[in-house]
Structure 1
Amino acid sequence: MSTAPAVTDATFAAQVLASSKPVLVDFWAEWCGPCRAVGPILDQILLENGDKIDIVKLNVDENPQTAALYQITSIPAMKVFQNGEVVKTIIGAKPKPAIEADLAAFIG
């Protein structure tokens, strides 16, 4: 099980949009194999960089409003929010070094 906390349609604004630090939202689903592959990588990044960035998970099947609002059409999709705005989008499963490179502006 992931160490990254889950967010829902109901908690998204408070936990993500109102956060004082960057938040990576992992849009995922239980049935998505690549999503399950990315989960442990994000957990590692969170453990190593939790002081600089928060990482949360949003199940697109259980929270369709937020997924639709951010036009999530394929998963895994990760979006970094800063000051309530999307500042980075990462699509697809990638190895840890590639995700860390994508996040360099936030964790570097």
Structure 2
Amino acid sequence: MASEKINVLEEANFNDTVNNAKTPVLVDFWADWCGPCKMIAPVVEEVAEEYEGRMKVAKLNVDENGSVAANYSVVSIPTLIVFKDGSEAERIVGYRSKKELKAILDKYI
């Protein structure tokens, strides 16, 4: 599933991971049954490789961690949220190409 460059988040480690990160954090909110989530997964993995050391990349399964998704009002997936200094900086809903995603992420590194 996720490469070793991608952190797997759940309710127990979400706040620690996002709030204590020294770099911006991109969190991919996804589910197994979501077609567009499967389409963007390889893009997220490539970004995790390319941005290693400059941005932390993580995934959160919304079916297994519904309360976290609810806390951030995630109603459509895939939703990617960029956190900077523990706060939401930008939200991307739906599939984006690697070029589009990198253009957004580059603003935060």
User: Does TM, normalized by the shorter one, top 0.5?
Assistant: yes
Whether the 8 Å contact between 1:2 and 1:40 is mirrored in structure 2 is: no
**2:55 counterpart residue number:** 53
Give the TM-score normalised by the residue count of structure 1.
0.94
Give the TM-score normalised by the residue count of structure 2.
0.94
**2:39 counterpart residue number:** 37
Task: Using the aligned pairs only, state the percent identity.
Answer: 38
Calculate the aligned-residue CA RMSD, in Å. Answer: 0.9
Residue 31 (structure 1) shift:
0.3
Q: Which runs of no fewer than 5 residues in structure 2 stay unpaired?
A: none
Q: Which runs of no fewer than 5 residues in structure 1 stay unpaired?
A: none
**2:8 counterpart residue number:** 6
Residue 83 (structure 1) shift:
1.1
Separation in structure 1 between the aligned mates of residue 89 and residue 97 of structure 2, nearest angstrom: 21
Aligned length: 107
Give every structure 1 segment of 4 or more consecutive aligned residues whose post-TM-superposition deviation is greater than 2 Å: none
- Give 2:107's match in structure 1, choosing from 75, 81, 105: 105
Which whole-Å deviations, capped at 9, do the CAs of 1:21-54 have from their partners, x for residues lacking one? Answer: 1000000000001001111101101111111101
